[in-house]
Amino acid sequence: MEELNNIAPELSKIKKEKSFGTPDGYFDDFSARMQMKIEAEKAPVVKKEFRIINILKPALGLAASFAIIVLLVYVPLNTFLNKEQPNKQATSNEYPQTEFQSILEEIDENSFFALLNEEQNGKNDFTDEELQLYVSANFSDYEIYEYTEN
Amino acid sequence: MTESDRQIVSGLKDVNKRDLAFHTLVNTYKERLYWHIRKIVMNHDDTDDVLQNTFLKVWKSVDSFREESTLYTWLYRIATNESITFINSKKKKSMLPLNEVNEYLLDNLMSDPYFEGDEIQLKLQKAILQLPEKQRIVFNMKYFDDIKYDDMAKILDTSVGALKASYHHAVKKIEDYLTNKDLN
């Protein structure tokens, strides 16, 4: 102590007080916490059970990710493309009633009947032989008999 | 070695008594080791981590304890090594240059809610933190804990002469820091 006074008078003036503290009850709890840590250390490490699912897990994960990516790309793309197609179809197939009537009004009577006859003539444009073949292929003898009797 | 230490050691070597002996060891040495570690790593939370690691290491290496040294010096040696390892790992993680380690420890001290010292004590701690690591440990062990040089030599694996020189240099540097008020 005397030596310290000689070589370090400023230092020897400072009281050796405890300048650090701990949370309340720290040392009381410490033993219990340490005991738990040791118990955990003693517990044997459980080996992972060998299952086929463990082997397939990475592959399944990859497949699932791929499916999600496809869904994310395909669904919006499909919806986007379908939005354009129905418009085209609507113009070609769906004739609004009013538009159809206005077209009919514009055609004169003679041209209308000429068109109708043309269509009918086109429909009947087959020979007796073709008709006979069609009937024999699609109807039974009984059905033909019944039909002709009526 | 004291009689109680001898009982602890023989209990640790006996598988049936090991748990109880370890419990006694923790209760006997937890406070002394805590304060030793705290003066090296400065902050309470870090000290708690290092103290747990120390006892865990003691538990794992109890079979390798040869009774050539006392239980007390063996425990202090493990605690000191764990503290230095802890600081080195912090140094690596934060890529701190060697001279900034002391600044890191000073920040640790300043941000620690459990530092209860007054201005003079803070100044003393700052002075101690200016020292190189080994000198700092030697100074703390001699100045605050009054550990014998012989025991320190066993704990730090150094000669008594080197320890005396280290302590002397440390005291001189601290005195210079405390007297040179302009720099503080």
- What pLDDT is stored for residue B97 in this prediction? 67
Is residue B179 within 8 A of residue A10, CB to CB? The reply is yes
Is residue B170 within 8 A of residue B139, CB to CB? The reply is yes
For residue A22, what are the CA distances in angstroms to A25, B47, B113? Answer: 8, 10, 9
- What pLDDT is stored for residue A13 in this prediction? 85
User: CB contact, 8 Å: A33 with chain B?
Assistant: yes
Which position has the higher pLDDT, B45 or A140? B45
For residue A145, what are the CA distances in angstroms to A127, A129, A142, B47? Answer: 21, 19, 5, 108
> Averaged over A19-23, what is the pLDDT?
89
Gap from A31 CA to chain B (nearest CA, Å): 7
Contacts of A38 in chain B (CB under 8 A): 19, 22, 55-56, 59
Gap from B136 CA to chain A (nearest CA, Å): 15
> Averaged over A54-67, what is the pLDDT?
84
- What pLDDT is stored for residue A93 in this prediction? 55
- What pLDDT is stored for residue A46 in this prediction? 59
Gap from B22 CA to chain A (nearest CA, Å): 9
Nearest chain B residue to A18 by CA: give it: B117
DSSP designation for B141: I
Q: List own/partner pairs for A48-55 with CB under 8 A and 24 or more apart.
A: none
CB contact under 8 A, A7 and B175: yes
Per-residue pLDDT tens for A8-17?
888 888 888 7
Q: pTM here? A: 0.65
Tokens 């007390």 correspond to B72
Size of interface A-B (CB pairs under 8 A): 84
User: CB contact, 8 Å: A6 with chain B?
Assistant: no
- What pLDDT is stored for residue A94 in this prediction? 55
User: CB contact, 8 Å: A19 with chain B?
Assistant: yes
- What pLDDT is stored for residue B13 in this prediction? 85
Which position has the higher pLDDT, A22 or A3? A22
Per-residue pLDDT tens for A71-114?
888 878 887 777 666 555 555 555 666 666 766 676 667 776 77
- What pLDDT is stored for residue A1 in this prediction? 60
Which residues in chain B land under pLDDT 70? 95-100, 181-184
User: CB contact, 8 Å: A10 with chain B?
Assistant: yes
Q: B161 in helix, strand or coil?
A: helix
Distance CA B51, CA B48 (A): 5
- What pLDDT is stored for residue B24 in this prediction? 94
- What pLDDT is stored for residue B14 in this prediction? 86
Is the ipTM of this structure higher than 0.90? no
User: CB contact, 8 Å: A29 with chain B?
Assistant: no
- What pLDDT is stored for residue A49 in this prediction? 60
Among B44, B114, B121, the residue with its CB nearest the CB of A17 is B121
Contacts of B143 in chain A (CB under 8 A): 16
CB contact under 8 A, A19 and B30: no
Nearest chain B residue to A9 by CA: give it: B175
Across all residues in chain A, what is the average pLDDT?
76
Residue of A6, A10, A28 to mutate, testing the B interface (most B Cβ within 10 Å of its Cβ): A10
- What pLDDT is stored for residue B2 in this prediction? 81
